[in-house]
Amino acid sequence: MLFSKPMTPEANLLLACARRFVSGGEAGEVLYALHCAFDWDVLLAMAERHGMTALLNHELDSVCPDRIPAAWRARFERQAKSNLVHTAVLGRVLDLLDRNGIPAVPLKGPALATLAYGDLTLRAFSDLDLLIPRNDVARTMDLLAGMWFRLESGLHWSCASACLRSKEGELSFRRADGVRLDLHWRLLPDYFASSLDGEGVWEHLGAMRLAGRDVPALSSEDLLLFLCAHGSKHRWECLGWLCDVALLIERGETDWPLLLLLAREQHIERMVLLGLRLACDLLGSPLPYAVREAIDNDGMVTKLADEVIATIFLPRAETSPVRDGLLNLRMLERISDKLRYLRGLLITPTEAEWRRLLLPPALFFLYYPYRLARLARSLLAQGKWQPS
C-alpha cells in the first residue's frame, strides 16, 4: 500500500484496530502501534472523522483498558446512549409507517450496526436513514410531522412536487431532542450511473430483527452494491465505510456471481470492485476468484484504489475538490454516465439556488441557467470553482 505521506502513529493505530476487529485476529499489530508515541486527542479526532470511535474503544478496551482516558469512556458512553435513543425512535417511526401501509427499509445506522457489527453500540451513527417508495414521500412527511420531526432541507416552493426535486433524492428532518432522519426515495442521486431505485431492490428485500420487531432489509447483494457505490461517491474518505463492507464480506452470505451481475446491469461494477479491492488491501478481506479476476480485468480499479489509499488519512483540508471530481468521473464506466454526472454536478440546481429565487414549479426551469451563472461568477471572481 502506498500512502502519499508516512502514516502518523494515530493512523497506524486506528488501522490496526480496524484490521483486528474485522478479522478477529491477534492483538500483535495493535500492541505494536500502542508502543509508538501518539496523541490521544489526535487519535480521537481521527476516529470521529472516520466514524470509528465505538470500534476503536472496543479494541482498546480489550487490549489496554487501563490506558484509555476517562474522558474517552464518557464520550463513548454518550455515543452508545445516542445510538440506543435513535434506534428506539426508528422503531416507533417504522411502526407508524407500517400502520399506514407505507413500506420502509432502514438503511445504515441501527440496521447496519446490527447486521454487520452484531451490536448497536459498535458502529457510530448520528442519524437515521429510511428508504421509501417515491409515491409515499408526501404522506410520510405528514406522518413525521406528527412525531415532531421538522423538515431541515430547503424547498424551492411549498408544495408536494417540490419535495421530489431534491438533487440527492433525499430530505432531512430533525427533532427537538436532536434525532435526525434522512428520508430517501433513491439509494443514490439520479446523476450517478444508477440511482438503485428500481423494482428489483424492493423485490429482493429480506428481513431482520431490529428494535424488537421484524423489519425489511436490503438483500446482502443490494446492501453491498449500495455501500460500495455510496463510498465511491464520497471517494472512500472514511475508513469506517470500508469496515462496513469488510464485515459484510466476513458474514459469508454474499452470492458473488449475482453481485457481479447486478453491478454490471446497474453500470456500477467499477465502483463495487473499488470498494471490494480497498477492503481487501486495507483490512485484509478475502475475495473470491471471480471478483479478483474482475478487478484484474479493469486496470482503472487498481489505479483508483492506489489514489484512495494515498489520501485516506490526509486531513480534508489537504484534498482537492478538482481531484475529487476527476476521481468520481473515472469511477464511471460509460461516456453517457460521465456526462450525466457532469450535468448533475454543474447544471442541476441545489438548495443554494432555491433559497435565492424561490420560484414556483412552473418556472423551475429558470434555476438551470441561474446555477450556471452563479458558477461562472464564482470562477471569474475567485479564479476557481466553489460549488454550493
Query: Which residue has better confidence, 318 or 57?
Result: 57
Q: What is the pLDDT of residue 347?
A: 87
For the CA atoms of 8, 13, 19, 25, what is the dihedral angle to 10 degrees? 140
Q: What is the pLDDT of residue 228?
A: 96
Between the alpha carbon of residue 281 and those of residues 119, 213, 330, the distances in Å are 25, 37, 20
* Region 308-326 average pLDDT: 77
Contacts of 161 (CB under 8 A, 6+ apart): 361
Q: What is the pLDDT of residue 137?
A: 93
Asked if pLDDT for residue 198 goes beyond 80, the answer is: no
Q: What is the pLDDT of residue 261?
A: 96
Query: CA-to-CA distance for 314 and 201, rounded, in angstroms?
Result: 35
Query: CA-to-CA distance for 287 and 161, rounded, in angstroms?
Result: 44
* Region 319-346 average pLDDT: 85
Query: CA-to-CA distance for 140 and 102, rounded, in angstroms?
Result: 8
CATH topology of domain 74-218: Beta Polymerase; domain 2 (3.30.460)
Asked if pLDDT for residue 2 goes beyond 60, the answer is: no
Query: CA-to-CA distance for 279 and 243, rounded, in angstroms?
Result: 7
Determine whether 45 is exposed, middle or buried from the number of CB atoms within 10 Å of its CB (0-12, 13-18, 19+): middle
Asked if pLDDT for residue 321 goes beyond 80, the answer is: no
Query: CA-to-CA distance for 94 and 147, rounded, in angstroms?
Result: 12
pLDDT, tens digit, 9 for 90 and up, residues 266-313: 999 999 999 999 999 999 999 999 999 999 999 999 999 999 999 899
The domains of the chain are located at 1-68, 74-218, 219-347, 349-388
Q: What is the pLDDT of residue 94?
A: 96
Can you state the percent helix, strand and coil of the chain, rounding each to 5? 60, 5, 30
Asked if pLDDT for residue 10 goes beyond 70, the answer is: yes
pLDDT, tens digit, 9 for 90 and up, residues 251-264: 999 999 999 999 99
Asked if pLDDT for residue 383 goes beyond 70, the answer is: no
Region of residue 10 (left: phi > 0; alpha: psi -120 to 50; beta: else)? alpha
Length of the chain measured in residues: 388
Query: CA-to-CA distance for 330 and 344, rounded, in angstroms?
Result: 16
C-alpha cell at 373: 451563472
The pTM of this model reads 0.91
H/E stretch holding 214 reads strand 213-217
